[in-house]
């Protein structure tokens, strides 16, 4: 067994490639989608809602929490 329970993932962007990546990550038993960043808060929120991602960022400059 590995020394970790999950690998946490963050995705930059909310377009078609990001959607495919999110679907792939969600199919992995040891992965969690934890954050999404986009240039637009509305797009980040919609993407996060679609994939139940807890952390969403509407620009690439804001510091993490």
Return the domain boundaries, the chain.
7-57
Classify residue 63 by its DSSP letter. Answer: P
Segment 27-42 shows an average pLDDT of 96
Q: Which two tokens stand for residue 53?
A: 């991602």
Q: Which CATH class is domain 7-57?
A: alpha beta
SS3 25: helix
For 10: left if phi > 0, alpha if psi spans -120 to 50, otherwise beta; the answer is beta
Q: Is the pTM of this model over 0.95?
A: no
Confidence class of residue 50 from pLDDT cuts 50, 70 and 90? Answer: very high
Burial (Cβ within 10 Å: 0-12, 13-18, ≥19) of residue 47:
buried
Neighbours of 20 (CB within 10 A): 10
């Amino acid at each position: 067994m590995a020394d970790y329970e999950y690998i946490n993932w963050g995705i930059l962007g909310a377009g078609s490639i990001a959607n495919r990546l999110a679907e792939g990550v969600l199919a992995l038993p040891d992965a969690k989608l934890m954050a999404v960043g986009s240039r637009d808060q509305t797009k980040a929120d919609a993407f996060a809602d679609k994939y139940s991602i807890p952390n969403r960022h509407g620009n690439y400059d804001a510091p993490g929490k």
